[in-house]
Amino acid sequence: MPINRFGPDEARLVTVSSRDSDLLDVACNLFANIFPEDKRYIPYIRACAQGQNPSHPRTFDHVWLVEQGGEYVGLRVFSYITTRDFGHGAYIGFVSHARGRGLGRWLVEQTHAQLDEDARRFGCAGSIGYLVEVERPIDAESEEARQTSLKRLQFHRQCDAIFLPVPFIEPVMISGVDYLRPEDLAGESPRPMHLVFIPSKLGLVIRNLDVVSLVHGLYLDVYRLSPQHEFVRRALQHLTGDSA
Q: What is the pLDDT of residues 196-211, one digit of tens each?
A: 999 999 999 988 899 9
Rounded Cα–Cα distance for residues 244 and 241 (Å):
9
Rounded Cα–Cα distance for residues 129 and 195 (Å):
13
To the nearest 10°, report the CA torsion of 84, 133, 224, 181: 150
Per-residue confidence band for 227, with pLDDT thresholds at 50, 70 and 90? very high
Per-residue confidence band for 186, with pLDDT thresholds at 50, 70 and 90? confident
State how far the alpha carbon of 5 is from the alpha carbons of 15, 40, 210, in Å: 10, 29, 32
Average pLDDT, the chain: 92
SS3 label, residue 187: coil
Please determine, for residue 183, whether its predicted confidence score (pLDDT) is greater than 70. Answer: yes
Domains in the chain: ranges and CATH: 8-240 (3.40.630.30)
Query: Taking a C-beta distance cutoff of 8 angstroms, is the pair 222, 157 a contact?
Result: no
Query: Taking a C-beta distance cutoff of 8 angstroms, is the pair 231, 163 a contact?
Result: no
State how far the alpha carbon of 175 is from the alpha carbons of 56, 60, 185, 227, 241, in Å: 10, 17, 12, 13, 26
pLDDT at 173: 94
Nearest alpha-carbon partner for 17 in 8, 26, 9: 26
pTM strictly above 0.85: yes
Contacts for 53 with CB less than 8 Å, ≥ 6 apart: 47, 61
What average pLDDT score do residues 143-168 get? 89
Q: State the Rg of the chain over Cα.
A: 17
Nearest alpha-carbon partner for 171 in 230, 242, 244: 230
Question: What's the gap between Cα 89 and its chain centre?
Answer: 2
Residue at 99: amino acid letter: R
Rounded Cα–Cα distance for residues 60 and 47 (Å):
11
What would the pLDDT profile of 148-158 be if each residue is shown by its tens digit?
Answer: 888 888 888 88
Please determine, for residue 115, whether its predicted confidence score (pLDDT) is greater than 60. Answer: yes
pLDDT at 243: 53
Rounded Cα–Cα distance for residues 92 and 79 (Å):
12
Rounded Cα–Cα distance for residues 181 and 190 (Å):
17
